[in-house]
Amino acid sequence: MQVVGGENTDCPWPKALPFHKESIVLDLIYRETELLRKAKREGCLAYDGMEMLIQQAALSFSKWTGRKPPIDEMKDK
């Protein structure tokens, strides 16, 4: 079994499989990982898990309050 994420610094992406420059890579871990570094080196857009968390929070904020979420402020925290 291969464990990825957490303290494991290995990149789960197969070495023989190139990234496509049009790809968007999202890692669920809340920091930059080796997967994201590799994707960025290959010219991809790459986001850590914080972006997903912020977008989920923004959707919840909008549904609960009926107002536009302050995404820039959320990202500053």
* pLDDT at 77 exceeding the cut of 50: yes
- Interval 8-31: pLDDT, tens: 677 777 777 888 888 898 888 888
Q: What local confidence, expressed as pLDDT, does residue 4 receive?
A: 58
- Where does the pLDDT of residue 76 fall: very low under 50, low under 70, confident under 90, or very high at 90 and above? confident
Q: In which residue are the tokens 């930059």 written?
A: 32
* pLDDT at 3 exceeding the cut of 60: no
| Coil/strand/helix, residue 25 | strand
Q: Against a cut of 0.95, is the pTM above it?
A: no
Closest CA to 58 of 36, 50, 27: 50
